[in-house]
């Protein structure tokens, strides 16, 4: 985890989005970061310091005149690995751009030489104003990084323009990305497939499978946290995509095949965690067939083998998945050879706690060279980390 053992200062300025900062602070702490919260006077009017102290078990700083903390603004500028400003109001952005130091937060920002991650939040007209845009440009030239703002409802009502602060998960993902060590995945393009595909029998009925997409989404989340540029190609699923990834939604196996073919030329790693439907009707019915019609016969044909037909770059490491029943190791090895994979991830569809529609998995990592590694039953995010550990060894 990039945030484990890191020191983060969370600066909170006075906007209604302050309530999201509480969730962000807790999320950072849950990942093992030491979090110091600095509130402006306006922020303390929205969220009391006691709230953050209860969440973090650490005192909140709100004044340049804290007793026994006369140089807090210097310490908090120099020591942390990252300073996050969320929300960053138009007023805070303007003061920081001008180099003002009239409170603890702006003073530490003026003394800061390390990375700063800024999450702007304000009325859409205020964000679009040339003064705000110029101030943001000045801060970007000084090395500040930005996440958001997003389009969405504001305190005063709906809006179709940027202004809304990014969600805590998006800010957390951006922070993890900034602090990710420059490992083998850093800056690499990773393509991940996830979820099922659907093949229509008629306009309202489909052939599909129970894949939830959780394994693919966990791989995408783990890869982006390691600093990768992630393209997630997903079939129908109710999951929320991880923050920081580029998402392409598809329905049929052919659509997934085309999306993979378009994305893979730029990729250094392809993780094929999706469960595409293996069959489709040879001739889909053009109208819904009433049940009163009784028995119908449908001829099925195989869908395209996405991996088997893929023309991939030589530098791209490819990981396939094999969901088998019983002892599937030899079948998995056969697929590994036939499809020219670097790894195949084997799991048993019938094992309790593994496979479809569960949050855990038990897999065997089968490499092209070397012995298989059987993992214990683990949460799918932990399985994703283990898979990426093995892949990074190959990439490096």
* pLDDT for 234: 97
Statement to judge: residues 249 and 153 lie in one domain: no
pTM value > 0.85: no
Q: How far apart are CA 303 and CA 274, in angstroms?
A: 14
Model pLDDT, residue 259:
96
* Nearest to 168, CA basis, from 340, 342, 31: 31
Same domain, 275 and 172: no
Same domain, 146 and 224: no
My answer on whether 112 and 234 are in the same domain is no
Say yes or no: 156 and 280 in one domain. Answer: no
> Residues 105-127, buried b or exposed e (16+ Cβ, 10 A)?
bbbbbeebeebbbbbbbbbbebb
* 309, 257 contact by CB (below 8 A): yes
CATH code of residue 126 = 3.40.50.1950
Last residue of a domain, one of 145, 179, 213: 179
Using DSSP bridges, classify how beta strands 82-88 and 116-120 pair: parallel, antiparallel or unpaired: parallel
Helix axes 130-141, 90-98, angle to 10 degrees: 50
Output the CA angle 54-170-187, nearest 5 degrees. Answer: 125
224 within some domain: yes
Domain boundary residue, one of 156, 179, 202: 179
The predicted structure's pLDDT at residue 159: 82
Burial of 60 (0-12, 13-18, 19+ CB in 10 A): buried
Q: Are 233 and 248 in contact (CB under 8 A)?
A: yes
CB atoms < 10 A from the CB of 212, how many? 20
d(CA 16, CA 162): 16
Q: Can you tell me whether residue 303 is helix, strand or coil?
A: coil
CA–CA gap between residue 203 and residue 223 (Å, rounded): 37
Catalytic residues: 209
Range of the domain at 16: 7-179
Angle between helices 380-395 and 214-225 (to 10 degrees): 50
Residue 372 lies in a domain: yes
**Is residue 184, in this structure, part of any structural domain at all?**
no
Domain boundary among 129, 148, 179: 179
Same domain membership, residue 371 and residue 268: yes
Whether residues 149 and 261 share a domain: the answer is: no
2, part of any domain: no
Q: Do 93 and 221 lie in a common domain?
A: no
Under a CB-based contact definition with an 8 Å cutoff, are residues 170 and 86 in contact?
A: no
**CA–CA separation, 349 vs 15, rounded Å?**
49
- pLDDT tens for each residue of the chain, 396 residues long: 678 788 999 999 988 999 999 999 998 998 888 899 999 989 988 899 988 998 888 888 877 766 666 567 677 778 898 999 999 999 999 999 999 988 889 999 998 888 999 999 998 888 999 999 999 999 998 889 898 888 888 887 888 888 889 889 889 888 888 887 777 888 899 999 999 999 998 888 899 998 999 999 999 989 988 888 999 999 999 998 887 789 999 999 999 999 999 999 999 999 999 999 999 999 888 888 888 888 888 899 999 999 888 888 888 999 999 888 767 788 889 899 989 899 999 987 777 777 777 888 889 999 998 899 999 988 898 899 999 999 988 887
Identify whether residues 147 and 47 lie together within a single domain: yes
The dihedral formed by the CA atoms of 150, 151, 152 and 158, expressed in degrees to the nearest 10: 140
> Does 120 map to a domain?
yes
Strand 300-302 vs strand 343-348: parallel, antiparallel, or unpaired? unpaired
Among the listed residues 220, 105, 238, the one whose alpha carbon sits nearest the alpha carbon of residue 173: 220
Give a yes or no: residue 1 inside a domain. Answer: no
Same domain, 42 and 154: yes
The answer to whether residues 249 and 389 belong to one domain is yes
Those residues with Cβ within 8 angstroms of residue 389's Cβ, 6 or more apart along the chain or in another chain: none
Q: Partners of 277 in the beta sheet?
A: none
Split into its structural domains, the chain has a count of 2
Say if residue 92 is in the same domain as residue 155.
yes
Nearest Cα neighbor of 388 from 229, 269, 274 is 269
CATH code where residue 248 lies = 3.40.50.10300
Selection from 180, 186, 184, 183 nearest residue 394 by Cα: 184
Residue 196 lies in a domain: yes
CB neighbour burial string for 174-207, b if at least 16 within 10 angstroms, e if fewer: bbbbbbbeebbbeebbbbbbbbbbbbbbeeeebb
Within a domain: residue 238? Answer: yes
Residue showing tokens 């050879």: 337
């Amino acid at each position: 985890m990039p945030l484990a053992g890191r020191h983060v200062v969370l600066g909170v300025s006075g906007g209604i989005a302050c309530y999201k900062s509480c969730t962000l602070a807790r999320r950072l702490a849950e990942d093992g970061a030491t979090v110091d919260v600095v509130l402006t006077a306006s922020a303390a009017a929205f969220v009391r310091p006691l709230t953050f102290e209860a969440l973090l078990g650490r005192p909140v700083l709100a004044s340049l005149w804290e007793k026994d903390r006369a140089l807090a603004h210097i310490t908090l500028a120099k020591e942390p690995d990252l300073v996050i400003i969320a929300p960053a109001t138009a007023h805070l952005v303007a003061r920081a751009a001008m180099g003002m130091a009239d409170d603890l937060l702006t003073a530490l920002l003026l003394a800061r030489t390390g990375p700063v991650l800024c999450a702007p939040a304000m009325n859409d007209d205020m964000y679009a104003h040339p003064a705000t845009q110029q101030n943001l440009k000045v801060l970007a030239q000084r090395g500040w990084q930005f996440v958001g703002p997003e389009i969405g409802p504001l305190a005063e009502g709906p809006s179709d323009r940027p202004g809304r602060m990014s969600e805590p998960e998006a800010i957390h993902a951006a922070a993890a990305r900034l602090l990710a060590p420059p490992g083998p995945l850093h800056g690499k393009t990773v393509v991940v497939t996830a979820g099922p595909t659907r093949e229509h029998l008629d306009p309202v009925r489909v052939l599909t499978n129970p894949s939830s997409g959780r394994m693919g989404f966990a791989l995408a989340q783990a890869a982006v946290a390691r600093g990768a540029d992630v393209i997630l190609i997903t079939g129908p699923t109710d999951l929320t995509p991880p923050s920081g990834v580029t998402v392409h939604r598809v329905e049929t196996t052919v659509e997934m095949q085309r999306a993979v073919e378009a994305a893979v030329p730029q990729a250094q790693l392809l993780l094929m965690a999706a469960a595409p439907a293996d069959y489709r009707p040879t001739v889909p019915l053009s109208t819904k067939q009433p049940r009163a019609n009784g028995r119908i016969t449908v001829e099925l044909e195989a869908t395209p083998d996405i991996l088997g037909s893929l023309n991939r770059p030589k530098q791209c490491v490819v990981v396939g998945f094999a969901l088998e029943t019983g002892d599937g190791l030899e079948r998995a090895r056969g697929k590994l050879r036939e499809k020219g994979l670097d790894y195949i991830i084997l799991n048993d569809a019938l094992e309790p706690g593994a496979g479809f529609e569960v949050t855990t998995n038990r897999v065997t990592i089968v490499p092209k060279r070397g012995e298989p590694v059987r993992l214990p039953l683990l949460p799918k995010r932990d399985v994703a980390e283990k898979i990426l550990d093995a892949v990074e060894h190959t990439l490096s």
